[in-house]
Amino acid sequence: MSEILKEYDDSQKKSKKAYSFLVFLKYLGVSFCVVMLGMYVGNIMFGKRSLDVMLGLQHQKERLKNDVEYLKKQNARLLKEYFELKELEPEPTKK
């Protein structure tokens, strides 16, 4: 009977070692995936390309603001000229 128990003990030790090695591999794989995902997301949010895009958009925004101001002034000048010309034209005669 002691031989059977001894054999049973040996088989459990082997299976525990194999089980703990598999668990270690799983944790290692999951940790690697989490680290790689974190690096990917960090690169997307804070990487060089994102900074370049943000700076370009800020420059474009400032340029568009300047264009809007210029066009408003030009529109006001043209409206003034239009209304001055409108007053100088004779009224159409109704028949």
Alpha helical stretches, state H, 1-95: 2-46, 48-88
pLDDT in tens, 28-78: 999 999 999 999 998 888 887 777 888 899 999 999 999 999 999 999 999
CA distances from 71 to 16, 74, 75 (A): 78, 5, 6
Task: Please tell me which residue, 19 or 14, carries the higher pLDDT value.
Answer: 19
Q: How far apart are CA 86 and CA 92, in angstroms?
A: 12
